[in-house]
Amino acid sequence: MITPVLPTYKRAPLAFDHGKGMRIYTAEGKEYLDFGAGVAVTSLGHAHPHLVEALAEQARKLWHTSNLYVIPGQEKLARRLTEATFADTVFFTNSGAEALECTIKMARKYHAAKGHPERYRIITFEGAFHGRTLATIAAGGQAKYIEGFGPKVDGFDQVPFGDEKALNAAITDATAAILIEPIQGEGGMRPVPPKTLRRLREICDENGLLLLLDEVQSGVGRTGKLFAHEWAGITPDIMAIAKGIGGGFPVGACLATEEAAQSMTAGTHGSTFGGNPLAMAVGNAVLDVMLADGFLARVRERGLNLKQKLAQLKDSHPDIIEEVRGEGLMMGLKTKVPNTDFVAAALDQQLLTIGAGDNVVRLLPPLIVSDDDLSEAVTKLDRTCQSFKSKA
């Protein structure tokens, strides 16, 4: 018999009741160290006082008005995001997939408005993940997400990760854009080398294509810069963000240059809930913390510390850990045991981690993590590795 909750997730038999900072607790008070952050979402940890206060204050004033009226929180958050990035304009959504939908629609409309509606195809990369809507599963190109859901949305051409020849061969007169995650998250924490991102920017410029970045997971401070592409010294034309910007409240956004966004006039796109006052209060509160002096520098320091500790862990357990991947606080362990077994064994050590493709275990702590928390997590990971040896 089907469960009342549609069983589309294979869930751990574990429910949480409350959280504080880096820690999350069951109703019985059992404590877990959270290195998953709800898949890179609770970027400032649980129950951050500044976020709680911002949400509660807005909740007492006004929840929702629709986008038929000016929403001051949107004006403020959009202004701050445009000041802090390449972008000139922002559309707010409730999720990452919706931010990608806006990104895809905008790229197509850009060329259509220039008299080239036939230029609607977008090149994506093997191992990509862009969400679960009909267009974003087609963009991601993973058969297991596409099969059985009717004709695949047309307009996406996938090429192997890091194969410039294949990429050049895929560019035709119908190509509108290239879409890439600066660090593949679900695909297995695979960073795109900065020189490859710079090359993609050149290829786009040479061919009149738009460069679209999916920073839903890699963005909002995760790598120690506000956005991961900053490490490569390039800027995209359009970028999708979500996850960390809401700190746990559903918020996404599509950021774009004026040039790329020029045809998105009144009536061309919309969302009932996108950018509602509650979401904007939290998004602004997240930026209050992240843009404060020294915050991102601390994330960079913690990221280096974590990388070093994980390298040592790999040296201690070469039979369990094959490779350490990632940047900043977006790290992955490619394991020699099934990653699902590793995540379950880490759970026994009261440490939350998250599986990814390519048999990788993701470590995505809230960005407020301390060096002590990192040491504690690595001790738990060490015990997790040992637990496999005692079984063998």
Ligand X SMILES: *Cc1c(COP(=O)(O)O)cnc(C)c1O
Find out whether 226 and 295 touch, Cβ atoms under 8 Å.
no
| Cβ distance to ligand X smaller for residue 212 or 216 | 216
| Cβ distance to ligand X smaller for residue 141 or 345 | 141
| Cβ distance to ligand X smaller for residue 81 or 128 | 128
Backbone angles phi, psi at 214, to 5 degrees: -100, 100
| Cβ distance to ligand X smaller for residue 51 or 104 | 104
DSSP 21: B
| Cβ distance to ligand X smaller for residue 36 or 337 | 36
- Going by C-alpha positions, the residue among 252, 273, 244, 281 that lies closest to residue 55 is 281
CB of 366 to ligand X, least distance (A): 16
- And the tokens for 203? 């290829």
CB of 187 to ligand X, least distance (A): 9
Chain residues that interact with ligand X, rule: CB under 6 A: 95-97, 100, 129-131, 181, 185-186, 214, 216-217, 242-243
State how far the Cα of 311 lies from the Cα of 324, in Å rounded to an integer: 7
Q: Is 183 strand, coil or helix?
A: strand
- Going by C-alpha positions, the residue among 349, 247, 322 that lies closest to residue 32 is 349
- Going by C-alpha positions, the residue among 145, 149, 150, 139 that lies closest to residue 177 is 139
Residue nearest to ligand X according to CB distances in the complex:
96
| Cβ distance to ligand X smaller for residue 185 or 191 | 185
| Cβ distance to ligand X smaller for residue 219 or 303 | 219
CB of 153 to ligand X, least distance (A): 15
Find out whether 141 and 127 touch, Cβ atoms under 8 Å.
no
Find out whether 317 and 2 touch, Cβ atoms under 8 Å.
no
Cβ neighbours of residue 300 closer than 8 Å, sequence gap 6 or more: 224, 225, 328
State how far the Cα of 128 lies from the Cα of 139, in Å rounded to an integer: 8
| Cβ distance to ligand X smaller for residue 135 or 216 | 216
| Cβ distance to ligand X smaller for residue 243 or 380 | 243
Find out whether 16 and 24 touch, Cβ atoms under 8 Å.
yes
DSSP 115: T
State how far the Cα of 45 lies from the Cα of 218, in Å rounded to an integer: 17
Taking phi over 0 as left and psi of -120 to 50 as alpha, with beta for the rest, 29 belongs to left
Q: How far is CA 70 from the centre of its chain?
A: 28
State how far the Cα of 61 lies from the Cα of 58, in Å rounded to an integer: 5
